[in-house]
Structure 1
Amino acid sequence: MKKIIGIITVCAVMMLSGCQVNKKAQIKALADCEYDVESVDQVKFNGKSLDSFKGSDGNYNMSSIASLAMALFSKELPLEGKVNLKITNPEVQKAAFNSLKYVIEIQNSPLFEGTVDQNVNLNQGESTIVPMTFKANIFNKAKENGFDKFFDELLNKKSEGFMVLKIKPSIRIAGQNIYYPSYITVDKNFGSKIFKLFK
């Protein structure tokens, strides 16, 4: 009987050890994936498409967004859209996740945080597109920085890191989501993807 218990104990330890190794391998596979912003579409600023804010010279200027005056009084400047995130697995190890958190930061401060649930299984060389929607009120950020300076920085893309997109993918083990320990930076110039019409 003692021998049987001993064998069972050894098997259990080996299984747990194997699970830990497998868990680490799966989490590493998430980190090794390539994450790129394929496109950003359905973008609206203050409820309108970006075309309506484009100046005659193709660039941003305050006169071209005079319609924002009412929004400044209401303290509401919503920015919304859909990010199409391309995920590619370049490694031999299969990459799989069922959920990921994402955050959009302005000047290192979270502007929007969301979660998307989508089962993804990628063998080596395979890619997929994961859509992520966002909607945030940027009024307070604009006010803190000064409206002229904020919009000039945001729309004319003068500083790297002004608006950043980060993600945190997860794997599912024993019925629980195990997230990657830290956020992975996808795009340090995410604002340029949103306001591409102002090139």
Structure 2
Amino acid sequence: MKKLLGLVAVCTVLLLSGCQINKKAQIKALADCEYDVESVEQVRFNGKKIESYKGADGNYNISSLAGLAVALFSKELPLEGKVNLKITNPEIKKAAFNSFKYIIEIQGSPLFEGKVDQNVNLSQGESVIVPMTFKANIFNKAKENGFERFFDEMFNKKSEGFLALKIKPSINIAGQNIYYPSYITVDKNFGKKLFDLFGK
């Protein structure tokens, strides 16, 4: 009886060790995938299509927008759109996602946080496009930095790090979502992608 219990205990330890190794391998597969902003759609600022603010010189003339006075009163300056994220698995091991969180940062601070629930299974070389929508009020950030300077930096200069897109993918183990330990940076120059890729 003691031998049987000992055998069961050893098997349990080996099984748990195997599960831990498998979990680490699955989580590593998430980090090994390639993430890229394929396209952006339906970008609107202050309720209007973003292209309506574009001048003949190719720059966005946001500082002179007609609705700014109303925005100053309401303290609402919404920026919204849809990002099509391309996920590619370059590795031999299959990459399986259950869901992932995504965050848009502005000047290093969270601007918008969202979540996508979508089962994705990618073999080597396979890709998938995952749509992510966002809507955020940038009024406070614009006020802190000065509206004209903020708009020019965000929409025209699009400096690296001003807007960044990050995700945190997860796998499902025993009915529970296990997320990658930290956010993976998809694009630290997301502002450039957001406005340069729009409409292409």
Q: 1:81 deviation in Å? A: 0.7
What TM-score comes out, normalization by structure 1 length?
Answer: 0.95
Aligned to 2:88: 88
- Aligned equivalent of 2:2: 2
C-alpha distance in 1 between matches for 2:81 and 2:37: 13
User: Residue 62 of structure 1: CA displacement?
Assistant: 4.7
Deviation by residue 1:67-106 (Cα, 9 ceiling, x = unmatched): 3332222110001111111000001111101010000000
Structure 2: which amino acid aligns with 1:97? F
In the TM superposition, structure 1's runs of 4+ consecutive aligned residues that sit over 6 Å from their partners are: none
CA apart distance, 1:64: 5.0
Closer, same or farther: CA 29–63 of 1 in aligned 2, 3 Å: closer
Q: Distance in 1 between matches of 2:6 and 2:39?
A: 57
Partner residue, 2:18: 18
TM-score (norm 2): 0.94
Tell me, yes or no, if structure 1 residue 190 matches structure 2 residue 197. Answer: no
Structure 1 residues 16 and 191: alpha-carbon distance in aligned structure 2, compared to 1, 3 A threshold = same
Query: Does the 8 Å contact 1:54/1:64 carry over to 2?
Result: no
CA offset digits 1:151-194 (Å, max 9, x no partner): 01001134211000000001111211111011000011111122
Q: Is the 8 A contact 1:91 1:124 kept in 2?
A: yes
Alignment of 1:35-74 (within 5 A): 35-62=35-62, 65-74=65-74
- Corresponding letter in the other structure for 2:20: Q
Corresponding residue number in structure 2 for 1:107: 107
Gaps of 5+ in 1: none
User: Secondary structure in 1 aligned to 2:79?
Assistant: strand
Q: Aligned letter for 1:125?
A: G
- 57-66 or 178-187, which deviates more: 57-66
8 Å CA contact 2:158, 2:192 repeated in 1: no
Q: Give the Cα–Cα distance (whole angstroms) in 1 for the partners of residues 121 and 46 of structure 2.
A: 37
Q: Distance in 2 between matches of 1:63 and 1:164?
A: 22
Contact 2:63/2:151 (CA < 8 Å) preserved in 1? Answer: no
Return closer, same or farther for 1:57/1:67 CA change in 2, 3 Å cut-off: farther
* CA distance in structure 1 between the aligned counterparts of 2:46 and 2:68, rounded to whole angstroms: 8
What secondary structure sits across from 1:151 in the alignment?
Answer: helix
Deviation at 1:9, TM superposition (A): 1.1
Partner Cα distance (1:82, 1:62) in 2: 20
Amino acid at match of 2:171: I
1:139-150 alignment runs, 5 A limit = 139-150=139-150
Equivalence map 1:22-37=2 (5 Å): 22-37=22-37
When residues 36 and 112 of structure 1 are mapped into structure 2, their CA distance, relative to the original with a 3 A threshold, is same
- Is the Cα–Cα contact under 8 Å of residues 34 and 89 in structure 2 kept in the other structure? yes
CA distance 1:110–1:78, change in 2 (3 Å): same
Distance 2:47 2:58 in 1: 20
The 10-residue stretch of structure 1 (178-187 or 150-159) with the greater mean CA deviation from structure 2: 150-159
The answer (yes or no) to whether the contact 2:104–2:113 under 8 Å persists in 1 is yes
